[in-house]
Amino acid sequence: MKAITSFLLVFIVLGISNVYSQNDSIQVLSPNHFNRVLQLNPDVVLIDVRPKKEFKKAHIKGAYLAQNSEVLFHLIDSLGTSKVYLLYCKYGEQSVDAGKMIYEKYRISACSLEGGLDAWLQEGKEIEN
């Protein structure tokens, strides 16, 4: 029930027409929508899928690092499939691929930050160093 409530909150916040990309297994969200989901949903897990070196330079506050699929799957196994997973990378391509892998393994949808961390920064959003 909690998973359904979390998923519905994503739809309410974003509007159904803005949620799905071409592939329904991963939702690509603009930096503003991504931030809204991050701020409003208590069941959100934020995951940075960039290399550790890049993560150490800068990342979105509260993000977990999952620099490869093994770490990503371990993280999801430990946190559960009832969470809302928000993924990002530098440009937005790796996080889409990671979201597809999550869908293939767990049959849960994830959200990717459109344009990645670069777009996040262009929108003036905060990061941690």
Looking up tokens 């620099």, which residue turns up? 67
Total H helices, total E strands in the chain: 7, 5
- The domains of the chain are located at 26-128
The structure tokens listed for 63 are 């993000």
3-state SS, 35-98, equals HHHHHHCCCEEEEECCCHHHHHHCECCCCEECCCHHHHHHHHHHHCCCCEEEEECCCCHHHHHH
If phi > 0 it is left, if psi is from -120 to 50 it is alpha, else beta; for residue 115 that is left
For the segment 69-89, the average pLDDT, to the nearest whole number, is: 97
Which residues are CB-neighbours of 76 under 8 A, at least 6 positions away? 85, 102, 105, 106
Please state the pTM of the whole predicted model: 0.82
Read off the pLDDT of residues 36-50 as tens digits, 9 standing for 90 and up.
Answer: 999 999 999 999 999
Q: How confident is the model at residue 20 (pLDDT cuts 50, 70, 90)?
A: very low
pLDDT at residue 25, as a whole number? 83
Please check the confidence at residue 9 and state whether its pLDDT lies above 90. Answer: no
For the segment 61-86, the average pLDDT, to the nearest whole number, is: 97
Q: How confident is the model at residue 51 (pLDDT cuts 50, 70, 90)?
A: very high
For the segment 19-28, the average pLDDT, to the nearest whole number, is: 66
Q: What is the mean pLDDT of the chain?
A: 87
Instruction: State CA 125 to chain mean position distance.
Output: 15
Please check the confidence at residue 127 and state whether its pLDDT lies above 70. Answer: yes
Looking up tokens 């941690």, which residue turns up? 128
CATH code of 26-128, in short, is 3.40.250.10
